Structure 1
Amino acid sequence: MGAFDGAFDKLRGDQISHGYWGEHTSTIDWCENNYVHTPYIAETINTLTNLPSILLGLYGFFSVINNGLPKRFSICYLGLSLIGIGSFGFHMSLRWEWQLMDELPMIYVVSYAAFLILETSPGLDWQFGIIGPIIMIAWDIFVTISYIYLPNPVYHQIAFAIILITTTTRTAYLAFKLPPNHPSKVKIGKTMAWGVVTFAVGFGIWNIDNLFCAQLRQIRDMVGPLGIFVEGHAYWHLMTGYGSFLIFTASILLHLCIKVSPDAYTFDEKAFFPVVYPVKPQDRVKVKINGHAK
């Protein structure tokens, strides 16, 4: 999923540049050696480690449907699966068109998440009407066209970082502004923090893989089959997929607490894969927010 430029030009020099899917046309190759396990997959470990994200996104998507949440939230999870599918194809083929299917959905999904977290008026009607979606779609179109004509990974990452930082900052602000006695404040904060930390650690491991690729390849050669556990980019897939899932779950509950009611929805923060579900009316605990019972 994505890449900063720098070490990647060096990685491409001694890699196989074509295979079952044709010439490698992607602007990025990775530290995993190509076609080691099968002639049909360029990077086996980097490819297969996208499967958990695909399945986790589907799990979140169906949880929204089955628990009767507004369907707008299911798109976040479905987007996680879409990114995983694009990344699967990218690492399998190292083709430019699949690279776009990996990197551009990252922009679209985070743009949509930003749109949701900026739209926090009471009730489920859209605060900005048609203007909000138009701005979001216009931004996505601009990034898509400009990236196709300027296929530099740094440009993609800057565009992605702008939206991600905006979304994370806004979410943290809204969570911090929840009153101390809000029934979901602690679980939203802890789950959001754990998701961000997981995401960040995965990012760090991936960049160690970039910076010390030559040394890590030597280690893989020495340990043989156990070398699959020294594929740093694979950890990025696993950890950012899980971290994104947690962030989406916490954000959805935060959104519903603000727009619907502070006691109408919850999730089990002790669950490894928490999902938001409605609280039964008899189990709701009314809480005073700003002096008023909500």
Structure 2
Amino acid sequence: MTASYFTVAGERIPLLAEEPVRSLGRTYMANLIDKSIASAVTTQRQDGLRNIDQCPQPRKFKLLDELPMIYSTCVFVYCLYECFKHGNSISWFPVALLFIFSITVTVVYLEWKEPVFHQVMYGALVACLVIRSVFIVTWVYPWLQPLCYTSLGVFLLGFLLWNIDNIFCDSLRASRQTLPPGVGVVTQFHAWWHIFTGLGSYLHILLSMQIRTTYLKYGPKVKFRPSKLVLFSWRTALSHAHSDSRKVTNFML
């Protein structure tokens, strides 16, 4: 039987017997047997993860990971340094100062592309948060020290793991070639940095909310429970006819 061929713009489309077709992660061959697909997919996944592990992140994508750290920390700084003001007023001077700082860091980093510059600027913002937090829990609300130091400790643990990953990256990468997959993934310290940073930031947000709502006399209360890692709640007195009404709001991890 004579084989039929299809062409597109004068170019012949090969038969399955000549060239398998790959679509949606599967490879289709002329015999239509897919027993080898599972092992092929496993091999491709391992090769892909290995290439990702050995390939540095392109600078333009790295900026998308690093610059938002500056922006979000500026918001934390503003909230913590403005926690003792009255009402819902906005202090435009710190807003303008932090906005100019963010724009300056962005422009300089885009031109200079020096990771140490970003680390120093981010470290300066974190230092402002630490100094302000320690001052508040030492002189204003000492009973918030456990929450403050837990947040700081979790964040510093992530920071430590991040630096270990940066310094011993080659050694950790080589060890993953010999360790079982379930054990090797634990040595991804950069991933642990993101986990602990997220948890530390969450605890810091709770601390900031606790300080602000305490100052506004909303009756806040932070509870640590085994089943729910952190529970934050406050009671807000309603300034209406029913002065005894209470509104309870819960924030849980």
Shorter chain as normaliser: what TM range? 0.5 to 0.7
Consecutive unaligned residues in structure 2, runs of 5 or more: 1-43, 238-243, 247-253
Check 1:38–1:250 CA distance in 2 against 1; reply closer, same or farther (3 A cut). Answer: farther
Q: Give 1 or 2: higher strand fraction.
A: 2
Confirm or deny that 1:135 pairs with 2:114: no
- Matches of 1:124 and 1:276, distance apart in 2: 22
Q: Deviations over 1:133-165 (max 9, x none)?
A: 222211111111111011100000111111110
How much does 1:102 deviate? 1.0
- Matches of 1:139 and 1:280, distance apart in 2: 35
- Matches of 1:278 and 1:131, distance apart in 2: 30
Contact 2:158 2:192 in 1 (8 A): yes
Alignment of 1:1-294 (within 5 A): 37=46, 39=48, 43=52, 94-126=57-89, 128=91, 130-178=92-140, 185-186=142-143, 188-225=144-181, 226-258=183-215, 260-261=216-217, 264-270=219-225, 272-279=228-235
How much does 1:268 deviate? 1.4
How much does 1:120 deviate? 3.2
Consecutive unaligned residues in structure 1, runs of 5 or more: 1-34, 45-90, 180-184, 285-294
Task: Please report the TM-score for the alignment, with normalisation by the length of structure 1.
Answer: 0.58
Check 1:164–1:131 CA distance in 2 against 1; reply closer, same or farther (3 A cut). Answer: same
How much does 1:100 deviate? 1.5
2:154 partner amino acid: T
1:98 partner amino acid: F
Contact 2:225 2:231 in 1 (8 A): no
Report sequence identity in percent: 23
SS at match of 2:177: helix
SS at match of 1:267: strand
Q: Deviations over 1:173-225 (max 9, x none)?
A: 1122225xxxxx43x32122111111111211222222223332332122131
Specify the alignment match of 1:60 in structure 2: none
- Matches of 1:275 and 1:124, distance apart in 2: 25
SS at match of 1:194: helix
Cα RMSD, aligned residues only? 2.8
> Between Structure 1 and Structure 2, how many residues are aligned?
194
Larger Rg, first or second structure (1 or 2): 2
1:230 partner amino acid: T
Of structures 1 and 2, the one scoring higher in RCO (CA 8 A, sep 6+) is 1
Task: Please report the TM-score for the alignment, with normalisation by the length of structure 2.
Answer: 0.67
- Matches of 1:111 and 1:131, distance apart in 2: 13
Q: Deviations over 1:31-56 (max 9, x none)?
A: xxxx9646489647xxxxxxxxxxxx
How much does 1:96 deviate? 2.4
